[in-house]
Amino acid sequence: MKHRVFLTRRWPESIEAKLQERYDVSLNRDDRPLSPAEFKRALQQYDAVCPTVCDSLPAEVLNVPDKRCKILGNFGVGYNHIDIAAAKQQGLIVTNTPGVLTESTADIAMTLLLMSARRGAEGDRLVRAGLWKGWCPTHMMSSDVTGATLGLIGFGRIAQAMARKAHHGFGMKIMYVKPSPAQQEVVDELRAIRCDTVETLLPLCDFVSLHCPGGNETRHLMNDERLSLMKPSAHLINTARGDVVDSQALISALRDKRIAGAGLDVYEGEPNIDPGFLALDNVSLLPHLGSATIATRTAMGQKVLDNLAAYFAGKDLPDRVI
């Protein structure tokens, strides 16, 4: 008898097909967010539930009677949407998908940096609206990227991948904040300078990119006080987690031109976006596209499949969180 597996959202077809060969798989064919009640039923009816980073699994959802599920195969690296303490208390195993989305997410961070610096989204809207009157020496002047200073808050895989693209591709100077120094070979390659605190880094950088995990410890890390430390000509890039930035504080800083611009791929309460952002020309907005390439999303699904296969075979899990 095949193990029962539930996917909370649709995955690449090739991975769904592989899963269906091995397991009794149920798909969320409407591809819509599930309600807490639906999650609870899934935990009671399936051996494995595979959530995504947009699914919320607090303690009250995980604490269900007669639970059949023993493993949450998370489709994504981040897992702050899962109450890990509650999952552990309930005897649930949690896995994630590290390593395979590094380059694609770093690509999106660089995309947003370039869009914000060169006012790409604003220019696109202007052309589409039929408002472009032709070339002019002072029209839509913007910020240089080549040779500018990039500050990275967090210096894990994705941040280092972005730093390589920025340093080797655009000659950018690299600064970073991290609790402990990066590996010496990385520092030497990128000529990276470590700052002791976020407050030290912010005034020195032309671009600041966020690469820290979400959760209570980093909630509103970029608040009004820290945004005020950035240069008026600086740009903020966020491909990490939406709640790392205080949305109202950022909207205020952008509206008042206290910073030059921002590029966002993640948001507090997404997919709901604060309407204040929509009224601003100096913010570039993407719909959480960090890992959204065919190859990367397929590799993420394969990671989940590998973890499920190891679990059901009684082997060590390659990407176990708890």
Catalytic center residues: 241, 270, 288
Q: How far apart are the C-alpha atoms of 93 and 69, rounded to whole Å?
A: 9
Strand partners, 319: none
Of 105, 120, 118, 185, give the one whose Cα is nearest residue 152: 105
Looking up tokens 């005020």, which residue turns up?
228
d(CA 272, CA 129): 25
Q: How far apart are the first and last CA of the chain?
A: 27
* Counts for the chain of helices (H) and strands (E), in that order: 13, 12
Q: Can you give the length of the chain in residues?
A: 322
Task: Report the distance separating Cα 154 and Cα 286, nearest Å.
Answer: 21
User: Strands, DSSP E only, in the chain?
Assistant: 4-7, 24-27, 48-50, 71-73, 93-95, 149-153, 173-177, 193-195, 207-210, 235-238, 261-264, 283-285
Within 13 Å of residue 195, how many CA atoms lie on the same side as its CB?
19
Token reading at 272: 């709901």
Element spanning 121, H or E = helix 120-128
- The token duo for 98 is 């590290």
DSSP state of 202: G
Residue among 49, 111, 59, 134 nearest 89 (CA): 59
